[in-house]
């Protein structure tokens, strides 16, 4: 798939088959994440890979919109490590870029994925952090549910020229 085709094919998949991802596939996704740009090249992220069914089920209960984790093969929790910040406040954008790389790589590999927002909601951050034992300086940004898709989504065109401004507002 070329880049634009991958972007066009990416959809939020919430139903997964029981087929397992390989360790190599997970490492490929993590490598893609770590190729994302970061402000000042801080790379202030950490990734928690969750494959244990009991932990996935706890995360599904901790996050109000994470029920699909009960069928996902694994999840990657993207976290910002504030001890690595070189400029305060940039970690959410940097974690967003890493997350997008995971989603696009998953699509390119024929996998399904969905981004479950955690940051900036304190209740979600605290609940997810408690499940996976995060230290105070590591902030959960999102959970990405992953697996082989058990649903098909249609292509959509979201281009809206009314949201584009040239030179000034």
Does a structural domain hold residue 167? no
Does a structural domain hold residue 15? no
Q: What is the pTM of this model?
A: 0.97
- Our CA dihedral for 159, 161, 98, 87, rounded to 10 degrees, sits at -170
Is residue 1 very low, low, confident or very high in pLDDT (cuts 50, 70, 90)? confident
Looking at every residue in the chain, the average pLDDT score rounds to 97
Does a structural domain hold residue 161? no
For 123-163, what is each residue's pLDDT tens digit?
999 999 999 999 999 999 999 999 999 999 999 999 999 99
For 69-78, what is each residue's pLDDT tens digit?
999 999 999 9
Which pLDDT score is estimated for 22? 98
Q: What is the mean pLDDT of residues 101-124?
A: 98
Does a structural domain hold residue 169? no
Q: What is the mean pLDDT of residues 16-34?
A: 98
Residue 121 has pLDDT above 80, yes or no: yes
Does a structural domain hold residue 164? no
For 46-67, what is each residue's pLDDT tens digit?
999 999 999 999 999 999 999 9
Tell me if 113 sits within 8 A of 151, measured CB to CB: no
Q: What is the mean pLDDT of residues 76-101?
A: 97
Which pLDDT score is estimated for 65? 97
Does a structural domain hold residue 99? yes
Does a structural domain hold residue 12? no
The CATH number for 144's domain is 3.40.109.10
| Residues 36, 99, 159, 110, CA torsion sign | positive
Q: What is the mean pLDDT of residues 84-110?
A: 97
From the DSSP assignment, how many helices (H) and strands (E) are in the chain? 5, 4
- The domain total for the chain is 1
**Alpha-carbon gap, residue 11 to 146, rounded angstroms:** 12
Tell me if 74 sits within 8 A of 49, measured CB to CB: yes
**In which domain, by residue range, is 124 found?**
3-7+21-151
% of the chain exceeding 70 in pLDDT: 100
């Amino acid at each position: 798939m070329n880049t634009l085709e991958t972007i066009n094919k990416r959809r939020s998949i919430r139903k997964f088959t029981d087929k397992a991802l390989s360790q190599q596939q997970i490492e490929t996704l993590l490598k893609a994440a770590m190729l994302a740009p970061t402000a000042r090249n801080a790379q202030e992220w950490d990734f928690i890979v969750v494959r244990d069914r009991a932990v996935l089920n706890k995360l599904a209960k901790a996050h109000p919109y994470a029920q699909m984790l009960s069928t996902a093969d694994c999840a990657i929790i993207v976290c910002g490590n504030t001890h690595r910040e070189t400029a305060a406040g940039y970690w959410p954008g940097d974690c967003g870029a890493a997350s997008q790389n995971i989603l696009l790589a998953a699509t390119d590999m024929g996998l399904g994925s969905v981004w479950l927002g955690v940051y900036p909601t304190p209740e979600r951050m605290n609940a997810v952090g408690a499940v996976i034992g995060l230290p105070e300086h590591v902030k959960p940004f999102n959970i990405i549910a992953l697996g082989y898709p058990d649903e098909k989504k249609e292509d959509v065109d979201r281009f809206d020229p009314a949201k584009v401004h040239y030179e000034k507002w």
